[in-house]
Structure 1
Amino acid sequence: MAANGNDKPDLFKLFDFPSAHGHGHPDDAQGMSYENSGDLNAITRRQMQEDISAYRYDIEYCRAMLAGPGITPQEARSLHVRLLDCSHHVRHCQHRIELIDAQSRLGLNAASGYRASQQHHHHYQQQSHRSHSAVGTPGPNGVTKRKRPATAETEEEETAAPAPAAEGDSIDVAMSNSSIQRLGFWKCRLCMSQKYLNAGPNRVPSEPSKWPLRDVSKMLNHYLDLHTEHTPEERCKELGAALAQNQGPFEYWLTRTRLQDIKDLSVIDEYVVALQGGSLPEALRSLNRAAAAFPNTIPGTKK
């Protein structure tokens, strides 16, 4: 693991994902584009390898934090949960690579292999829904999500990381003709604002967010449920700025996670513009718990 003179993790390396490096076209920016590859198996395999490298960077960072001095029990629990979650994602990516390699050896194309796996997955969902309908919270695809203990990180976000039900989502992105991705990236600027730092011990979240906001649900919950030291207009504007930089994940969340049938994608731009103007689109209230309760002065309650 890369470290500086103080044996701390290199945060720049943490976000230096492998996609930034060349794969066969080191000097050609078009070498990484999907248009230049007609092999869906090769594209998916490369994405899985990049995800594995990114998750391993995350694992190294968590281990370095756990080995450092002054870590609180709450922080340790959050880091252990994150380590487990990253390990599960690494294993999932490795399984996908093995499946792709097996399909290649058998002469199966990506589409036929995907249809077969989807049929099996649909049958499993029906069985799982019948046998576990009283446990956990069903996701949008009918898969029961495992509940996780509340920690300092999960208090400000509904989940610390993507739930296992995201497995189907990642396959869908890799095998479709769409280039939208489920996860984005945003560092909360309100967590660093002077108004938040001066808010006192009752501020929410109690500490600045340690992790970047990647899931759109977490972005919505973070700004619409937390940061009550800011006005509702300020929180909407910051959420609008986050979604403007993550319009692909926002579209994924609307059309695939929340299963909205959006014929005209300009509607998504209108949502972003409304948020940037300081107001919450009414259509989002029925799609997210925090949006339904907004504006609020206390997290989780409606004003």
Structure 2
Amino acid sequence: MRNVHEPLHRLARVHDGELTDQASAAGAQALLASIVSGPGATTTAVTAPAPRRLRMPRLAVGALAAGVLVAGVIVGPGVLGSGSATSYANSAIAIERDGDQYVARIKDPFADHERYTEAFHAVGLNVDLRSVPVSPGSVGKILGMMITGKDALDPAPDPSGPRSDGVLLSAGTVPENCHPGRDSGCVMVMRVPAAFTGDVNVRLGRQARPEEEYANFDLAMAPGEMFDGVRLRDGRPVRDVLTEARRRDLTTVFSLIKVDEKTGGLSFEPLPADRVKAGWTVWNAWQVKAGVIRLLVTPERLPENPFHNGSAPPPAS
């Protein structure tokens, strides 16, 4: 009578004879290696004990192989996942889900922005974060933000940051109001709604390296900044402003304001200090870097402050 199991017998990669009396036989090892290297298997290394000769029923050996396969099926999706991770960390940033927000802690404020993007993408957020050098008073603050896509906002953003679905995109430091690079354990933190579905480009202030120029140059007269409390809305004589700069131990440099008569646009020409007269008018001040302030001047008084609308092109690099 023909053996009906003969076709299956020929298809088997490991035969009974190779399994008898030794679970660690070459055939069994080959089968185990084939299973764990297949789709869905994990790559966790396990140190095997020294081979022992033991008698094991063929059914038990089959159960062992099946057990390895089941473990691969269960662990594999847990590692790979069908959606985004809830946390991610690399050498530059660590992101973790906290309720309805993701909290990003900046571990290396000087890292390439691609390391930040990598982490945000891993948790399903299209955030392009770039850290830029700022004065100490603006470290951990958002300097600018542009949102596109589903969560884009038409009106001007709130001064503290745009909102998405009623939740604030915000940044700061932990502990609050500490100074990264100066205070031990102080890190910059950014919070993004977990439900955020748009694309956002963010410029986040970080501590400046020595001699590095500030990206927040136009905030010199804001609270906590280099010229906090100085008023130049109506223009002031150079002599008065120089006195104030010296009182604050600041070095001054100058730029000449040029106004385009047709468009009203502004341009700025660096000016040696010995060409500036005490009676010229200072209309604005920019903080350049630690200890250096730039005064924007004209030889004569203008009908109105050219910065009345608060806008001006950035200084030449």
Structure number having the greater strand percentage: 2
TM-score band, normalised by shorter chain: under 0.3
Could you state the TM-score of these two structures normalised by the residue count of structure 2?
0.20
Larger Rg: 2
